[in-house]
Structure 1
Amino acid sequence: MNQDLLSKEMSSQTGGEDKQEPTSGNDKTVTKGNPISRLFDFISGVFTSILPALIGAGIIQVIASVLLYLDIDSNFKIFTIVMYISGIVFYLLPFMVAVSAAKKLGSNIFIAAVIGGCSFFPSLTEVLKSAKEISSTSLPVAEPQYISSFILILIAVWLAAKIEQGLGKLNRYSIQLLVAPTLTLIIIVPLLLFVFGPLWTTLAHTLSEEFSSLFFFNSEVLAGLLYGGTIPLLHFSGMKYMLVNDMLESVAATGYDYIAPVMVAAVMAQAGAAFGVCIKSKNSKVKALAATTGLLAMLGIIEPAMYGVNVRFKKPFLAALIGGAIGGAFMCFFETALTAFSGLYGLMTLPLVTDSTLVYAVLGMVISFVTAGVITYFMGFADEQEEHSKGATASGISTASDLVVEKSANQLGDSN
């Protein structure tokens, strides 16, 4: 009897019976809809609890960039500190994604934390970077940035949850306490490091070579169309910076870069889709969330808008892909170029655009933004019912997470 009580207590403390994230409606509604719709709902749900941190870090990063552009901090001390504050959130994002996914799946959040943070372990990171010790054992080599991609983290946490649930059916305390965590870690972490990671690394290098060949061998418009329309997908897969070396080499060799403007177009499309949601939605909280995250996206921070709004409502995400593709093709057609590498792609990159192509950069941004916004508005999406808060927080002020509202049961079932 005491063992059963202890097991239940441990399960509740480690996420197995997590009650911290209640959802409206019947749980059966989660299984409705096609697989793609359920996948979008799952991804959006994972990022829902992370949104306040992402929004805060995004605003701080914009403030730091303003300090840099206006040359207010001549010694770069304030800029460095502020960038560190915002960088912490994005550095730990794979870790937070793993924990949030485990909460939604009802599995052990601490096991998920180990999975999400395994690429942060300094000794392991050094081994992966050098690849010497791994190559000597004939094991495939993965690059650390691809191991921490969101899609691999979600797959690994999902597999860990399946193992935990399978062993949980045996209903033995000793198995749940000793065997389940041991078996989960010894299976999932090597899979992530030596199977998923190397496959993702190989795929990233292959895509990088293909996109580079399009950009530099007289297929710029096609490159802009494909790259601009897939950057959000590459962002989620951890491959958003796969062309950074090409961009740096281009700036070093010629003084110009033609790839970054395509990224600007994709970013502005995410912003446009978010503002399309803001205009179309009848829910005041959704409007506030879409406007806030859309503004951040315009300034170069796309995660809150992409995951918190566009992926959540599905169709705006498709509209953003279309807007990014059209804007990217426009940028490449008029050979829009940047003179330096930028950390934020959006309105903040305008000072880096060459004088001769500045007008095309502005037009490309407008095309991406308007296209995504108009498609979102006329395509429509499953809006969310207005929900009134039943109580105030302890301080009497709503938190940032209060902006995120849950879909009603009937709307979730009807969405596709």
Structure 2
Amino acid sequence: MSINYRKTAQQVLELIGGEENISSATHCVTRLRIVLNDTDQVNTEELERVEAVKGSFYSNGQLQIILGNGVVDKVYKELMEITGREEQTKDEAKEDAANRGNPLQRAIKVLADVFIPILPAIVTAGLLLGINNILTGEGIFFDGASVIDVYPQWADFAEIINVIASTAFVFLPALIGWSVVKRFGGSPLLGIVLGLILVHPDLMNAHAYGDAVAAGEDIPTWSIFGLEIEAIGYQGQVLPIFVAGIILAKLEVFLRKYIPNSLQLLLVAPIALLLTGFLAFIFIGPITFAIGNWIIDGFIWLFGTLPMLAGLLYGALYAPLVITGMHHTFLAVDLQLTTTADGTFLWPILALSNIAQGSAAFAMYFVLKNQNLKGLSGTSGLTAWLGVTEPALFGVNLRFRFPFLCAIIGSSIAGMYITINQVLATTVGVGGVPGIFSIQIGSWGAFAIGMVIVIIVPFISTLLVGRVMKPKSLNE
């Protein structure tokens, strides 16, 4: 049956409280994204009964209505025509939503705005490092030997892959510098330069700093105006460039405001970089380096001392964190663990949590009778297994509640199991079934068992609850 886009737009408009309740509106590939003046005016139950609507949820201060690819843009145009509004960009709608949140929500939004743009580079690097691990890992295909040991002609191929893949992590501060300076209104190129400054090869590598201190070796220093400044780099560190990037952007904006246009090219960038660079090496770097290490040490202590409890809790909490957007805060921890420790114990649980939500969505395909919802369950379950959980999470599992809880039970059990077995990821990769390629070779067996748990437990428990207990939510 063909969709009447005009009628759909009119129905949506009526059920979200009318034109006067819209602060801003935009759309992505599959969803309308609307910032509302009053969320209480939305009739969610009736909204999700509209023929073209496949689900709705709130995220990042926006009501997001799932319409699907090829439908959402047509409905959006009709909505704009009915209301007489001009089309808006996603950035404009995001900014509107960000200004409405409380301080915690705005802080989380900043983290998301900074780290989401660099995720493609990080995930790509993780996948490529996974390929390198397959080629160089011993005991995968041959007893006590790797692929390149048996077939030396592949050694250089693996080396090139390693160089390409590791670049994103070697120059991680440059990526973060670009993103954070752009987010705060500065010149992204200056953010890249600042990040590269913090990993300059003339500085003592941050990875060698701890060993040097433990061995009692001298740390190279600069002596400036009576100050002794340690000449160390911040490879693999997140907080130093994050804070320094904010200061650089704010300083650049300030200077552009007061320096005449004719002199900006000569003065703004040199002054901003010079001042921020000095602040980074004198104050920002040492302070944030210590704070970052305290945070990492805290996680390592918790997962090392109470692995069963820590794995269980993180497995249970990750999906709820996705709902609030707070999961972005842990990406910074993951990135630092992969570059400064033996690997990250958090990210494997993330990957299993995503698979669990997909498994629960797959089970709903056999529970639901509505053909539109059955189709959404199948496709969203597949995307969750490939690392994108939002369609399954918001479109299916949270809508009926019990699949969400069944998925959490599965991810909690699996999280506890892989934490007890000390499963680590060497990189941040695709957070789903392909995630096994980012896991350390020796932990593949334990992680595979974790995958079996998050496939079977959520699927069977969701199926049983849906078919046997028939919860009230199925009739809502």
Fold similarity call, TM over 0.5: yes
Superposition deviation, residue 236 in structure 1: 0.8
Superposition deviation, residue 187 in structure 1: 2.3
Distance, in Å, in 2 between the alignment partners of 1:234 and 1:360 is 24
Q: Aligned residue for 1:132?
A: 219
More strand by share: 2
Identity of counterpart residues, as a percentage?
20
C-alpha offsets along residues 8-59 of structure 1, whole Å, 9 cap, x if unaligned?
xxxxxxxxxxxxxx64656645523333434444444445554554454444
In structure 1, runs of 5+ residues without a counterpart are: 1-21, 248-259, 298-304, 375-416
Structure 2 vs 1, CA of residues 191 and 363 (structure 1 numbering), >3 Å: closer, same or farther?
Answer: farther
Q: Which amino acid counterpart does residue 442 of structure 2 have in structure 1?
A: L
C-alpha offsets along residues 131-180 of structure 1, whole Å, 9 cap, x if unaligned?
6123985446866235x41x443332222222122222225235533443
Q: Aligned residue for 2:105?
A: 37
Superposition deviation, residue 64 in structure 1: 3.2
Please identify, of 268-277 and 112-121, the stretch whose mean Cα deviation from structure 2 is larger: 268-277
Structure 2 vs 1, CA of residues 140 and 233 (structure 1 numbering), >3 Å: closer, same or farther?
Answer: farther
Q: Which amino acid counterpart does residue 63 of structure 1 have in structure 2?
A: I
In structure 2, runs of 5+ residues without a counterpart are: 1-88, 213-217, 319-326, 366-371, 399-403, 430-434, 464-476
> In the alignment, does 2:203 pair up with 1:107?
no
Q: Pick the aligned partner of 1:64 from 129, 132, 136.
A: 132
C-alpha offsets along residues 179-204 of structure 1, whole Å, 9 cap, x if unaligned?
43233122222332332322233234
Q: Pick the aligned partner of 1:222 from 303, 309, 322.
A: 309
Q: Aligned residue for 2:256?
A: 168
Distance, in Å, in 2 between the alignment partners of 1:321 and 1:203 is 31
3-state SS, counterpart of residue 129 of structure 2: helix
Distance, in Å, in 2 between the alignment partners of 1:263 and 1:81 is 26
Distance, in Å, in 1 between the alignment partners of 2:177 and 2:457 is 32
- On the 8 A contact 2:199/2:235 being kept in 1, the answer is no
Q: Pick the aligned partner of 1:117 from 181, 184, 196.
A: 196
Distance, in Å, in 2 between the alignment partners of 1:369 and 1:197 is 44
Q: Aligned residue for 2:353?
A: 269
Q: Which amino acid counterpart does residue 436 of structure 2 have in structure 1?
A: L
Superposition deviation, residue 122 in structure 1: 0.4
Q: Pick the aligned partner of 2:415 from 307, 328, 342.
A: 328
Normalised TM-score (structure 1): 0.56
Structure 2 vs 1, CA of residues 173 and 193 (structure 1 numbering), >3 Å: closer, same or farther?
Answer: same
Q: Aligned runs of 1:13-412 on 2, under 5 Å?
A: 23=90, 25=92, 28-47=96-115, 49-68=117-136, 69-70=140-141, 72-73=147-148, 74-75=151-152, 76-126=155-205, 129=209, 132-134=219-221, 138-139=228-229, 144-145=234-235, 148-149=237-238, 151-170=239-258, 172-173=260-261, 176-214=264-302, 219-225=306-312, 233-237=329-333, 238-241=335-338, 244=341, 263-270=347-354, 272=356, 295=386, 327-332=414-419, 335-337=420-422, 346-348=435-437, 349=439, 352-353=442-443, 361-362=450-451, 366=455
Superposition deviation, residue 234 in structure 1: 4.8
Distance, in Å, in 2 between the alignment partners of 1:306 and 1:118 is 37
Superposition deviation, residue 261 in structure 1: 6.1
Question: Which of these two proteins has the greater Rg computed from alpha carbons?
Answer: 2
Superposition deviation, residue 210 in structure 1: 4.3
Distance, in Å, in 1 between the alignment partners of 2:256 and 2:147 is 58
Distance, in Å, in 2 between the alignment partners of 1:194 and 1:322 is 47
Distance, in Å, in 2 between the alignment partners of 1:52 and 1:294 is 17
Distance, in Å, in 2 between the alignment partners of 1:206 and 1:361 is 29
Superposition deviation, residue 123 in structure 1: 0.1
Q: Whose RCO is larger (CA < 8 A, sep 6+)?
A: 1
Q: Which amino acid counterpart does residue 269 of structure 1 have in structure 2?
A: S
Superposition deviation, residue 81 in structure 1: 1.4
Distance, in Å, in 2 between the alignment partners of 1:277 and 1:178 is 57
Superposition deviation, residue 87 in structure 1: 2.0
C-alpha offsets along residues 98-136 of structure 1, whole Å, 9 cap, x if unaligned?
223333433222221221221221002459846612398
Distance, in Å, in 1 between the alignment partners of 2:457 and 2:286 is 34
Superposition deviation, residue 325 in structure 1: 6.5
Normalised TM-score (structure 2): 0.50
Q: Which amino acid counterpart does residue 180 of structure 1 have in structure 2?
A: V
Superposition deviation, residue 60 in structure 1: 3.1
